[in-house]
């Protein structure tokens, strides 16, 4: 006897395709982000802060460019991205809804991808909130639009990597604040290891090992992100961000599996 017989016919149910599964989770998570007053506050604070820093340098330098905005962006993302991702799995664990979502007929990776894409959409929407700066520059003079577009692409890839990292770390704890601290620390490591002063200090502390240089060359996001900000879109930089993002999403799936034991 075919055990599948009669399952779909009785109630109008259909098997959920992989894309449908991702979309269903994505829709729920997206509405959770955009309905959340806390997320709106984070977004507003991020936009006000990033725009204020830019406007300050804009008035001092009087240059029709967004370089300063994109220079400070990684440091702001170190705090902003963990604020977006901290609830991703931690809230599911603390409220017990992880039991609900993991017993739906949707694969864990579809759930992870749905959550990731929703967080990415929210981040890109907030990032798009800085576009008025570009329009202002366009009104005032002739900014290098290709450079601005390339920098936005870099900011999108940088954010997408930090989101994957933050969602993975959120899966390790049921406490949102712990998830936030872990993700902030991890993102800071990836950013600060690209700072010249940090590299010099670490190299000085580990003479012979050149730890600072090694971190800069192998770990830091800044060299890859700064390529975009110079207008260079290199395959290696794209691969760096995509592979690291994929790596942390896969690690997230592994932690969900371990959770079942």
Partner 1 sequence: MIRVETVTKYYGPLKAVEEVSFEVGRDQIVGFVGPNGAGKSTVLKMLATYLLPTSGRLSVDGFDAVKRPLEVRRRIGYLPGDTPLYQDMRADRFLAFIGKAHGLSGAGLSRRLEAAIEACRLEETLSKRIKECSTGFRKRIGLAASLIHDPEVLLLDEPTHGLDPLQVLAFRELLRKLRPGRAILLSSHVISEVAAVSDGVLIIHNGRLLADGKLAELCQREGLPGSDLEGLFVHLVRKGTGQNMDGNHGSHEGR
Binding residues (CB under 8 A) for partner 1: these are 3-4, 7-8, 10-16, 21, 24-25, 27-28, 31-32, 35-36, 95-100, 102-107, 260-261
- Please, which residue, 104 or 246, has the CB nearer to partner 1? 104
**Least distance in angstroms from the C-beta of 14 to partner 1:** 4
Task: Report the C-alpha gap between 52 and 133 in whole angstroms.
Answer: 11
- Please, which residue, 98 or 127, has the CB nearer to partner 1? 98
Task: Report the C-alpha gap between 214 and 203 in whole angstroms.
Answer: 9
Task: Report the C-alpha gap between 21 and 116 in whole angstroms.
Answer: 13
- Please, which residue, 247 or 256, has the CB nearer to partner 1? 256
- Please, which residue, 111 or 186, has the CB nearer to partner 1? 111
**Least distance in angstroms from the C-beta of 5 to partner 1:** 10
Task: Report the C-alpha gap between 22 and 15 in whole angstroms.
Answer: 13
**Least distance in angstroms from the C-beta of 60 to partner 1:** 43
Between CA 217 and CA 220, with CA 218 as vertex, the angle to 5 degrees is 80
**Least distance in angstroms from the C-beta of 33 to partner 1:** 11
Task: Report the C-alpha gap between 53 and 147 in whole angstroms.
Answer: 20
Identify which of 176, 171, 39, 70 has the alpha carbon closest to the alpha carbon of residue 115.
Answer: 171
């Amino acid at each position: 006897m075919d055990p599948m017989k009669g399952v779909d016919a009785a109630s109008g149910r259909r098997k959920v395709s992989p894309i449908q599964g991702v979309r269903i989770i994505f829709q729920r998570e997206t509405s959770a982000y955009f309905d959340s007053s806390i997320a709106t506050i984070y977004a507003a604070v991020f936009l006000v802060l990033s725009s204020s820093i830019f406007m300050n340098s804009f008035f001092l330098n009087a240059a029709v460019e967004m370089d300063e905005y994109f220079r400070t962006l990684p440091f702001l993302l170190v705090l902003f991205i963990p604020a977006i991702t901290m609830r991703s799995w931690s809230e599911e664990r603390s409220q017990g809804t992880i039991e609900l979502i993991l017993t739906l007929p949707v694969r864990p990776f579809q759930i992870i991808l749905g959550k990731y894409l929703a967080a990415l959409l929210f981040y890109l929407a907030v990032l798009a909130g800085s576009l008025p700066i570009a329009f202002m520059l366009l009104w005032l003079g002739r900014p290098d639009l290709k450079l601005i577009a390339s920098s936005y692409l870099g900011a999108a890839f940088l954010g997408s990597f930090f989101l994957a990292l933050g969602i993975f770390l959120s899966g390790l704890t049921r406490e949102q604040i712990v998830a936030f601290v872990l993700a902030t620390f991890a993102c800071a490591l990836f950013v600060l290891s690209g700072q010249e002063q940090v590299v010099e200090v670490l190299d000085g502390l580990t003479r012979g090992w050149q730890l600072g240089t090694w971190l800069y060359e192998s770990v830091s996001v800044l060299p890859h992100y700064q390529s975009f900000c110079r207008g260079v879109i290199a395959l290696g930089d794209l691969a760096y961000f995509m592979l690291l993002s994929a790596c942390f999403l896969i690690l997230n799936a592994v932690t969900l599996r371990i959770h079942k034991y």
